[in-house]
Homo-oligomer: A and B are copies of this chain.
Amino acid sequence: MKENEKKYIEISPEKQVLFHNHVDECIGTGRMGLALQKEYQEQLKLVQDKIGFRHIRGHGLLCDDMAIYQESFEGGKRIVEYNFTYLDMVMDHYRKLHLKPFLELGFMPDSLASGRQTVFYWKGNVTPPKSYEDWKKLVIAVLKHLMERYGREEVVTWPVEVWNEPNLSCFWKDADMAEYFKLFQETYLAIKELDEGFKVGGPAICGVDDENWIYSFLTFCREQHLKPDFITRHHYTISEPEQVGHYGYAQLSPSEEGFANLHTTREIMDSFPEFKGLAIHITEFNTAYIPNCPLHDTNRNAAYIAEQLSRLGDDNESYSYWTFGDIFEEKGVPFTPFHGGFGLVANGCIPKPTFWSFVFFKRLKEKDGHCVFRDKNAVVIRLYDGSYRGVLFHSTENKNTGSGYVELIFQWEAEREEYCLLTECVDEETCNPLKIWHDMGEPASLSEKQLQILRDGARPFLCTQKQYSEERKLETKFLLKENAVIYF
């Protein structure tokens, strides 16, 4: 929208507009080992209470802090044992929150690794296994244990993804494509031998050299007669960030560029007859791909992500926002509650504006209905009971274009009828905890009182209005401030 632009949108109740809303299919998380933490669990509980995702995906399932793979030597003999103490705690917790894991197999336990290269502050080993046999035994032991504890019927509904971003050399030694394909093949076959019911996929790449990787991966699968159950990739939408002190500042890319890039994946897949229509899961997406980008905490992010949520379902079965919370250590432990972390929720259980974009899109799914309108600023759903719900958003990307106006004109059955318009508004004035934190002087250690103020200031502004239809029309005006997201 341009400054002060006024949009008039006519809504006809019969119209059926395509809209795949997978807002709640999957959510990202910091590494598994962090799932033992109290604050992690509280943030996830908040997210589940208010949004309610179905799956959760993160790194580090097999890393040493989860302590699963245990190698010891007794009398010169190597003994391998599997320790499921922490795995059980993590999975029990997820299940209590009605979450199924989207299992990402990685990274490499140190004593099983062929090299010493690691990634992140928490030092995930990113080298291939020194023994593929031992790797497969580990994977199978984990899956078997999960089946024993949670039941076979349940566990086969947990998707399995092989590794993470092997197309980057920081995540997979030398970004060695052939080695990754071997890892995939060995793992895929071992799991299918254990139980055909498991759904296994890859290659979990990010948007670097992605066309080549997707094409090569599918070609490899075709040649080896492998049938991956789904394809996974990631989706970030910023320019190269500039590092200043603790923070990395970045510009948003035009959203159309990103959607186009995603669509090529769809097209490449559909060019293989045997993989045509195969599910794509975006197992990570966000604006910036660094956990210290102030953009993440802003209303700008919320509006941009709202647009993403309105369109990512067009080509993809799921899209997993990276991540639910700010208990996250990839670049070390954050110094301050707001620090540009990936989370929907800041440390201290403070919802960020983007949190509400998810809440609002989730509400569009709560009751049966169909989409009657969708464009760059609005999604409108008509419920089975004749009422409407919608989300309006005004993503200005990198520009500052000021406010716009949207007027929705509903065709109405009754000549004149009273109804109640409820709106919840998230914009820079009504729901902007980052600003409050700045105004407070950016305290690193929050007092109970400061925390309460930040939480109080992190809620949408709710208001109601009585309105009346006239001449079988009902006109409703909305002021859409810059980077606003409004639910009605």
Contact surface of A with B, Cβ cutoff 8 Å: 36-39, 41, 67, 70, 81, 83-86, 88-89, 93, 145, 148-149, 332-336, 347, 420, 422, 424, 429-430, 435-436, 438-441, 444-445, 453, 456-457, 459-466
Contact = CB atoms under 8 A, between A and B. Distances in A.
A453 B422 CA distance: 9
A83 B339 CA distance: 13
Nearest to A441: B420
A456 B445 contact: no
B459 A67 contact: no
Given A37-B36, A38-B36, A335-B85, A440 B464 contact: yes
9 contacts: A37-B38, A38-B38, A85-B335, A85-B336, A145-B445, A420-B439, A422-B453, A439-B464, A456-B460
A487 to B, nearest CB: 12
Given A462-B457, A463-B457, A333 B439 contact: no
Contact of A83 (B83, B333, B440): B333
A281 B102 CA distance: 48
Contacts of A453: 422, 462, 464
A70 B422 contact: no
A334 B88 CA distance: 13
Given A347-B85, A457-B463, A70 B332 contact: yes
B457 A149 contact: no
B457 A435 contact: no
A97 to B, nearest CB: 12
Contact of A439 (B145, B430, B445, B465): B465
Nearest to A424: B456
Nearest to A70: B332
A229 B480 CA distance: 59
Contacts of A464: 435-436, 439-440, 453, 457
Contacts of A444: 84-85
Q: Which of A36, A84, A88, A439: most chain B CB closer than 10 A?
A: A439
Q: Which of A85, A145, A149, A429: most chain B CB closer than 10 A?
A: A85
A445 B36 contact: no
A441 B465 CA distance: 11
A465 B336 CA distance: 20
Nearest to A363: B449
B462 A461 contact: no
Given A38-B93, A86-B333, A459-B459, 14 more contacts: A36-B36, A36-B38, A38-B89, A70-B332, A83-B335, A85-B333, A85-B334, A149-B445, A422-B439, A424-B456, A429-B463, A438-B466, A453-B462, A456-B460
Contacts of A445: 84, 88, 145, 148-149
A39 B89 contact: yes
Contacts of A149: 445
Contacts of A461: 430, 461
Contacts of A84: 444-445
Given A420-B439, A422-B453, A332 B67 contact: yes
A91 to B, nearest CB: 10
Contacts of A88: 445
Nearest to A145: B445
A463 B347 CA distance: 20
A75 to B, nearest CB: 12
Contacts of A67: 332-333
B456 A462 contact: yes
